[in-house]
Amino acid sequence: MSGQAAALELTSLSRSYGDRRAVDDLSFSVWPGEVVGFLGPNGAGKTTTIRMCLHLVKPTAGEVRVFGQDVWGQGSPSLRRVGCLIESPATLPFLSGRDNLEFLRLARGGIGRGAVGRTLATVGLSDRAGDRVATYSLGMRQRLGLGLALLADPDLLILDEPATGLDPAGIVEMRDLLRRLAAEGRAVLISSHVLREVEETCDRVVIINRGRLVRQGTVHELVAGTGLFAVRVADPAGALATIRGQDWGGAARLRDGVVVTRSRTGRGGDLADFLSRAGHPPEMLVEDRQELEDVFLELTHEEGVQR
């Protein structure tokens, strides 16, 4: 992506608390126009990393650049181009949703009056804009928090668990909104435990564990390339026995009535031909695709996704 600076660039970023390294030599970038998922089990260092990016926790070593400016070495003027939602939204419950946004608009300065109405419409709160935030559901408060992050029309969004409290329809709306913001040229970094939504929403994923980077890449790169095929046949047990009789099929298995196996040549067409000749013509044959959750658990050695 030559010719433009990364929206967010971490280089050898570390943070220690006494003898414990919360973040350890972490490097990755987020570019304009993409949504990046930032994943890791609880205690992996995600929140500490985000706080270092926002000039809230000072790194022990390394640097953070926002649109080419070193956040800690050059002060933080570039942070005016950043919108963030970290943990619970910082709202004033005795004020209305509209007044919360208006309060922030006046406090920051330089934001046009029309931004409040546009933001309320963007996050779907126009109908409840005049109600006190104390009466909002958890999902509505989360949408208001996103509105606070969006109010100044930022070029980079850093969001910690943006889907918290949203119902299924709200999660879909959040996904569509984030994709739309990226299509407009903004960069979005999402820390989330909702791995299915990360898979549906993000272009790339960065996975950390115990403060260190363990994998990064596009979602397609992480979930594809298992070398396995899922095959539906009329007699799955018979097909499985046939495949296991081959020197390349010993690891074949049944999963919910579907045969999961390798192909002798690595090509699905050759596997289909083999099964057809053996009397088990496939009714369906597709490349077996891992779930992002499976990849995550394998890389972080967790028994289950931390909540």
Q: Which residue has the higher pLDDT, 78 or 9?
A: 9
pLDDT at residue 305, rounded to an integer = 38
pLDDT at residue 3, rounded to an integer = 63
pLDDT at residue 28 greater than cutoff 80: yes
Per DSSP, 161 falls in state S
Asked which of 1-15, 36-50, 85-99, 291-305 is least confident by mean pLDDT, the reply is 291-305
219-225 average pLDDT score: 79
pLDDT tens digits, one per residue of 190-199: 998 888 889 8
pLDDT tens digits, one per residue of 139-182: 889 899 999 999 999 999 999 988 887 888 888 888 888 999 99
Q: What percentage of the chain reaches a pLDDT higher than 90?
A: 64
Beta bridge partners of 231: 259, 285
pLDDT at residue 304, rounded to an integer = 40
- pLDDT band, very low/low/confident/very high, at 226 (cuts 50, 70, 90): low
Q: Measured between alpha carbons, how far is 181 from 147 in angstroms, rounded to an integer?
A: 13
Q: Measured between alpha carbons, how far is 282 from 280 in angstroms, rounded to an integer?
A: 6
Full-model pTM: 0.79
pLDDT at residue 163, rounded to an integer = 83
pLDDT tens digits, one per residue of 99-154: 999 999 999 888 998 999 999 999 999 999 999 999 998 888 989 999 999 999 99
Q: Which residue has the higher pLDDT, 101 or 290?
A: 101
pLDDT at residue 301, rounded to an integer = 65
Long-range contacts of 123-127, Cβ-Cβ distance < 8 Å, separation of 24 or more = 123/147, 123/150, 123/177, 124/173, 125/97
36-40 average pLDDT score: 95
The CB density around residue 262, as the number of other CB atoms within 10 Å, is 19
Which tokens is 263 given? 């192909």
84-94 average pLDDT score: 85
What the chain holds in terms of domains, given with CATH numbers, is 8-218 (3.40.50.300), 229-287 (no CATH)
pLDDT at residue 191, rounded to an integer = 93
Per DSSP, 214 falls in state E
pLDDT at residue 303, rounded to an integer = 39
